[in-house]
């Protein structure tokens, strides 16, 4: 039930997948010395394990409680959050001009992974604030940045994203919340938002809501959406006209209050426009790209935590025999199969997420190709990472047998917690649509082609036939989808996303296997790395090849029945 | 949130997959006339939807409650159970000599499917009693049968299976409960059992526990286990020395009390031996085979229920647009993909379960080949059916988007409920070991070879290339496993089970597609059947081909790391 941060693995990935040493040669990331990086990786793991992990159970069992508009976190959460702020764990990738350390996002990703493993529900609070920081950093005025960023960067205040309304989920453009200009340059916000993560809580002195709303006479759909800062407490210290009217009763992440927020019940909440009028979607995507990377990482977090628990259980539970002697279940082949699968999937999803974060860091140094690759990979990180989180937590539960189904064991909580991540921050279906609808066509398909060429070259060099076949397949399938009818491309999108994700993750596993052959370090870790890579390349890559028929099959079969037939 | 029994589908399968008309030509099943069969299918669906489905939510939210050894079911359950008994729904396949209707098991399977869809937790009570009836029918003395069967057949009394102990789960042979002979021919039972489904409740006047225990000086392991009848209330009306000491707090199936049972705290519970001394495993397998078929069917039940809810939601939820018009999400290609996948998987798993039940019915008429095929298929029905239940309930939750994660929606309950079925009645890993360790070698491999030959012949005739390839693969893989090292065979067992399951289910889907082309009936249903078969054969069969590398890969890679490396 404890969490052992995978420090060795995280350092290895920062070195060989992110290329931290290369990043540190830039002026911007000169502070990311090996000593600093190691200290942060080790410190974050120790902090998450020591302060956050012990609160995971009470977070689930007691959860956030709503009473008359106020949300109270379980015992211990306020203290743990204060320790997070005081330790500066939120400041790592924050802008240096406003109290941040200006270190690479890939390093902050390690911290996020640790927090998510230790306490997934709680970690959402730490995830959303940096997304708000990003939006303000890129789209806020200088005065807005000075007003809001310093305390958001430290975490003294927390941030939220207010997008969803009952009729506007995946279809953000359908939102109805209104913003009317006031004489003083501010706006009066009126409307109801749902599914607002940490929309209300007792951890911080202020909550800075970033709210999407429509100006009067704004165009319909996504072209008429603007983004507003709507703080819980106004700069003059008075409460804003907003209220958490209820929180949801959810399958998991009980420590994360999912709020229904009502704005302007008493005349209008005060807000300030961020960026230009009707340009809210652009600012929102700044937040969302950051959040999508972090949600993908959440899949890694919960997979790691669930897997650790399953391995510990399998090492202790005696059942059956081998060679005439009582055996612990870790000795049985089919349990080994599950553990190896969990290990390979978790490492692969982590490599994909860290690699994408590293590309984002390169992009921040002005590398346009890296930005394009990060854009391409973001939907993969989000969807594949969260699918891995669900699959691994299910396997971990299965390893426990009947005990896995008993809540006290803890495996069931991971299974429940993990299931939200394929849904929020854009369902995985939306990610797949983003891949085939936008990302595949970036630069006329060249961004995708370059990625596949990189995969193919390494596969060829390493003699990885399965990976080479998969690279060839996704290239021709991708070219086919680029010219396909919209429905055919969308019908193919999810299985295609899985194939591209496995190819990319398989490539990163092959590169790690090579690094592990040459690297010095803990021989146990290096042996495990080589075996996980082998398992992924030899057994999971071929599964992805089996998805090809979905991609080539087209949409006609899906529409060969009408809705009444589906219900028949 | 309602349940619409798939009556048309169930009748179609009884006709074209089970071959009910042919069964009815036998003396034993002469009563299974088309009119009787239709009346039972229609009546069971209406009963389950009308009486059981409305209690599904309260069963989850309130659940079974324990207090001082007594278990109280939620409001309405006693009345619903009484209606079940009075309607004779438990008697369908029960032995005619003891109040049963002696109808085919395949017909009783329809009833079980309906009850499981309507209220999975509750339906476990209805599932275990027939398993106890089977054990007594095959292994009890005439006097025991007269004493216990009449009220078990009607359901006035319920039955349980008491196998598991804390140290004896999958490894039943490790159990320690003791049975000492008394002077009057009965035995004194002492020990603790865990995970006893409906071990205590307030639905019936008596609970007939079938308990595995060891006689003094019995050999170790499974060779020294005997089976005993240990009723809650003794024939003289006095309470037996047994007690439910607690119930578990579980992820799902809250309406099913999972009991810790203590036997003999006050000197010894009174029990009577069923069958010969030390022959308990044989009797237990009689119960387990029945129960494994029914647990596989549970996967179908929960898949059907979850899928119906997802389709209903997708038909109503408006989000995004198609051709410039607001669209309900059922119109979007990726949602269609999920719905078609759910439909195809559910129908395929149902076909596998019903077919196996039909083979069991043929076996009961003396058909040894049918018995062998049922023996071969039972682990497939259990493991594949329950894997489908989990996958489909997860897809159904996903179709709901954020609403799926909110407990009030009901999708989350199906997801939680479904997760137990790959675990109990022998984990799916145990099923896979049963397949490669015992069933594959039946009659020197001829039972398996005959099944594959049947699949291959139909695939060839219908021009189903993917299915033919899969049949060829599983035949050669199966032959390879028969000669493989034990570890290699076990390492391959689970993916191999999936491949054989998909091949067999694909075969049954192809046969149904042919029948649907020729059959008369609701054209909407027949069109859906053809499309579901096409989807399964064209898109899901190729996925199974992608599992081949797991089967040929062997165990060495799994053991190339030691336990410390796995934890590294």
Model confidence at B459: pLDDT above 70? yes
B67 token code pair: 């207090």
Chain A (83-112) residues lying within 8 Å, Cβ to Cβ, of chain B:
none
Give the closest-approach CA distance of A286 to chain B in angstroms: 22
pLDDT of residue A1: 57
Cβ–Cβ gap A318/B412 under 8 Å: no
Q: Do B102 and B235 belong together in one domain?
A: no
B548, B476: one domain: yes
Number of compact structural domains in chain A: 3
B420 touches chain A (CB under 8 A): yes
Q: Which of A419, A420, A524 sits opposite B565 (nearest CB)?
A: A524
State which H helix or E strand residue B269 sits in: strand B269-274
| A340 contacts in chain B (CB < 8 Å) | 557-558
B435 and B452 fall within a common domain:
yes
Cβ of A406 within 8 Å of Cβ of B330? The answer is no
B119/A550 Cα distance (integer angstroms): 34
Residue of A nearest to B393 (CA): A419
How far, in Å, are A1, A114, A365, B207, B407 from residue A49 at the CA level?
11, 8, 33, 47, 30
Q: What are phi and psi of A425, to 5 degrees?
A: 55, 40
pLDDT single digits (tens) A291-304: 999 999 999 999 99
Hey, which residues does B189 pair with through a beta bridge?
B179, B269
E strands present in A474-518 = none
Contact A398 B427 (CB under 8 A): yes
CATH code of the domain in which A215 resides: 2.40.110.20
Q: Are residues B86 and B220 in the same domain?
A: no
- C-alpha–C-alpha distance, residues B180 and B277, integer Å: 12
The token duo for B525 is: 């249903």
Nearest CA distance, B382 vs chain A (angstrom): 15
Where residue B568 falls among pLDDT bands split at 50, 70, 90?
confident
Q: Per the domain annotation, does A125 fall within a domain?
A: yes
Closest chain B C-alpha to A224 CA, distance in angstroms: 16
Instruction: Determine, for residues A557 and B397 on separate chains, whether the beta-carbon distance falls below 8 Å.
Output: no
Q: A340 CB near a chain B CB, below 8 Å?
A: yes
Give the Cα separation of B461 and A540 in Å (integer).
33
- What's the pLDDT score for residue B189? 98
User: Helix and strand tally (H, E) in chain A?
Assistant: 20, 12
Give SS3 for B415. helix
Is the domain of B152 the same as that of B165? Answer: no
Instruction: Name the pLDDT band for A79 (thresholds 50, 70, 90).
Output: very high
pLDDT at B552 over 60: yes
Residue B315 burial by CB count (10 A; 0-12/13-18/19+): exposed, middle or buried?
middle
Structural domain contains residue B483:
yes
Residue A566 falls inside a structural domain: no
pLDDT digits (tens, 9 = 90+) for A150-197: 999 999 999 999 999 999 998 999 999 999 999 999 999 999 999 999
Write down which residue in A101, A136, A157 finishes a domain: A157
CB pairs A-B closer than 8 Å: 254
Domain harbouring A427, CATH code: 1.20.140.10
- How close does chain A come to B456, measured CA to CA in Å? 20
CA dist A223 → A172, A212, A435 (Å) = 11, 12, 21
Distances (CA, A) of B457 to B366, B370, B468: 26, 18, 8
Residue finishing a domain among B126, B157, B188: B157
The answer to whether B15 contacts chain A (CB < 8 Å) is no
Tokens 């052959």 -> residue: A517
Taking contacts as CB-CB distances below 8 angstroms, the residues of chain B near A536 are: none
Tell me the H-state helices in B256-367: 280-316, 333-364
Residues of chain A with pLDDT > 90, as a percent, come to 96
For residue B330, list chain A residues with Cβ-Cβ distance below 8 A. Answer: 563, 566
CA distance readout (Å), A219 to A268, A286, A498, B147, B322: 22, 22, 36, 79, 19
The conformation of residue B89, written as its DSSP 8-state character, comes to T
* Mean pLDDT value across residues A390-409: 98
Which tens digit of pLDDT belongs to each residue from A462-509? 999 999 999 999 999 999 999 999 999 999 999 999 999 999 999 999
Picking from A216, A244, A278, the residue at the C-terminal end of a domain is A278
Q: Does A169 touch chain B (CB under 8 A)?
A: yes
| Share above pLDDT 70 across residues of chain A, in percent, rounded to a whole number | 100
> B209 and B144 in one domain?
no
Q: Predicted confidence band at A11 (pLDDT cuts at 50, 70, 90)?
A: very high
CA A319 to chain centre: 37
Name the DSSP class of B324: T
Q: Mean of the pLDDT values across residues B425-429? A: 96
Q: What is the mean pLDDT of chain B?
A: 97
Model confidence at B1, in pLDDT bands (50, 70, 90)? low
Examine residue B310 and state whether it is found in any structural domain, yes or no.
no
Same domain for A150 and A271, yes or no, is no
Q: Where are the alpha helices (DSSP H) in B48-119?
A: 56-61, 77-86, 105-118
How, if at all, do strands A269-274 and A226-231 pair?
A: antiparallel
Comparing CB atoms, the residue among A402, A424, A563 nearest residue B424 is: A402
Residue of A nearest to B169 (CA): A319
Q: Dihedrals φ, ψ of B534, to 5°?
A: -60, -45
Name the residue of chain B whose CA is nearest to A529's CA.
B565
Surface of B (443-502) touching A: CB under 8 A: 466, 487, 490-491, 493-494
Q: Is position B378 within any domain?
A: no
- Domain of B99, CATH number, reads 1.10.540.10
In a domain, B464, yes or no: yes
Pairing of strands A65-67, A70-72: antiparallel
The alpha-helical segments, DSSP class H, found in A188-332 are 280-316
pLDDT (0 to 100) of residue A287: 83
Q: Do A148 and A99 share a structural domain?
A: yes
**CB < 8 Å to B428, chain A:** 398
Dihedral pair phi/psi, residue A72, rounded to 5°: -110, 130
- The pLDDT of residue B39 is 98
Active site (annotated) includes residue B156 = no
Note the pTM of the prediction, 2 decimals.
Answer: 0.98
Q: If you average pLDDT over residues B441-456, what whole number do you get?
A: 98
Q: What is the pLDDT of residues A255-289, one digit of tens each?
A: 999 999 999 999 999 999 999 999 999 888 888 88
Provide the residue range defining the domain that includes A537.
283-552
Q: What angle do CA A525, A528, A534 make, to 5 degrees?
A: 145
Q: Is the pLDDT of residue B76 over 60?
A: yes
Q: Which of A231, A192, A227 is nearest to A213 (CA)?
A: A227
In a domain, residue A253? The reply is yes
B285 within domain boundaries:
no
pLDDT tens, residue by residue, A315-356? 999 999 999 999 999 999 999 999 999 999 999 999 999 999
Inter-chain contact A563–B494, Cβ cutoff 8 Å? no
Same domain, B103 and B183: no
C-alpha closest to that of A425 among B404, B338, B402, B314: B402
Shortest distance, CA B483 to any CA of chain A (angstroms): 17
Same domain, yes or no: B124 and B209: no
Task: Inspect the interface and report whether the beta carbons of B402 and A423 lie closer than 8 Å.
Answer: yes
Across the interface, whether the CB atoms of A558 and B494 are under 8 A apart is answered no
* A312 and A255 housed in the same domain: no
Q: Are residues A426 and A331 in the same domain?
A: yes
Closest by CA position to A341, among listed A316, A320, A323, A314: A314
Q: Which residue in A40, A43, A53, A41 sits closest to A10, CA to CA?
A: A41
């Amino acid at each position: 039930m404890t969490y052992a941060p995978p420090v060795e693995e995280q350092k290895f990935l920062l070195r060989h997948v992110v290329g931290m040493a290369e990043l540190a040669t830039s002026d911007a990331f000169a502070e990311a010395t090996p000593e600093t990086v190691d200290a942060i990786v080790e410190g974050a793991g120790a902090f998450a394990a020591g302060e956050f992990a012990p609160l995971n159970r009470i977070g689930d069992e007691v959860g956030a409680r709503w009473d008359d508009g106020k949300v109270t976190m379980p015992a211990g959460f306020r203290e743990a959050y204060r320790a997070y702020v005081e330790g500066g764990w939120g400041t790592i990738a924050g802008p240096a001009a406003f109290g941040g350390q200006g270190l690479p996002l890939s390093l902050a990703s390690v911290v996020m992974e640790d927090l998510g493993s230790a306490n997934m529900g709680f970690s959402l609070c730490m995830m959303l604030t940096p997304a708000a920081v990003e939006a303000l950093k890129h789209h806020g005025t200088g005065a807005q940045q000075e007003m809001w960023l310093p305390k958001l960067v430290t975490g003294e205040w927390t941030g939220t994203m207010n997008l969803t309304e009952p009729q506007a989920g995946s279809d953000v453009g359908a939102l109805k919340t209104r913003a009317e200009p006031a004489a003083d340059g501010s706006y009066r916000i009126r409307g109801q938002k749902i599914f607002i993560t940490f929309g209300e809580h007792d951890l911080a002195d202020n909550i800075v809501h970033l709210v999407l709303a429509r100006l009067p006479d704004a165009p319909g759909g996504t072209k008429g959406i603007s983004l507003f800062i709507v703080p819980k407490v106004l700069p003059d210290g008075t409460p804003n006209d907003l209220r958490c009217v209820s929180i949801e009763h959810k399958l998991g992440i009980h420590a994360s209050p999912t709020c229904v927020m009502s704005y302007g019940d008493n005349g209008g909440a005060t807000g300030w426009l961020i960026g230009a009028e009707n340009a809210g979607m652009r600012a929102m995507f700044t937040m969302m790209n950051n959040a999508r990377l972090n949600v993908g990482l959440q899949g890694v977090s919960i997979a790691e935590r669930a897997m650790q628990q399953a391995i510990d259980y399998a090492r202790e539970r005696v059942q059956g025999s081998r060679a005439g002697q009582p055996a612990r279940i870790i000795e049985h082949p089919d349990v080994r199969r599950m553990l190896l699968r969990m290990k390979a999937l978790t490492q692969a999803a982590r490599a994909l997420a860290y690699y994408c974060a590293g590309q984002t860091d390169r992009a921040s140094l002005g590398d346009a190709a890296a930005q394009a690759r990060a854009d391409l990979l973001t939907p993969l990180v989000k969807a594949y990472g969260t699918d891995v989180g669900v699959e691994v937590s299910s396997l971990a539960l299965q390893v426990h047998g009947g005990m896995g189904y008993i809540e006290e064991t803890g495996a069931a909580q991971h299974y429940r917690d993990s299931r939200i991540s394929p849904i929020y921050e854009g369902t995985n279906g939306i990610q797949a649509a983003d891949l085939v609808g936008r990302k595949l066509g970036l630069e006329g398909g060249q961004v995708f082609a370059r990625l596949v060429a990189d995969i193919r070259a390494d596969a060829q060099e390493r003699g990885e036939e399965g990976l080479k076949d998969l690279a060839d397949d996704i290239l021709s399938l991708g070219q086919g989808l680029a010219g396909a009818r919209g429905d055919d491309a969308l019908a193919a999108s999810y299985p295609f996303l899985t194939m591209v994700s496995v190819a990319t993750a398989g490539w990163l596993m092959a590169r790690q296997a090579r690094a592990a052959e040459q690297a010095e370090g803990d021989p146990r870790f290096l042996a495990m790395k080589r075996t996980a890579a082998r398992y992924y390349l030899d057994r999971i890559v071929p599964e992805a090849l089996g998805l090809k028929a979905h991609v080539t099959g087209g949409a006609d079969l899906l529409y060969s029945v009408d809705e009444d037939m589906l219900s028949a």
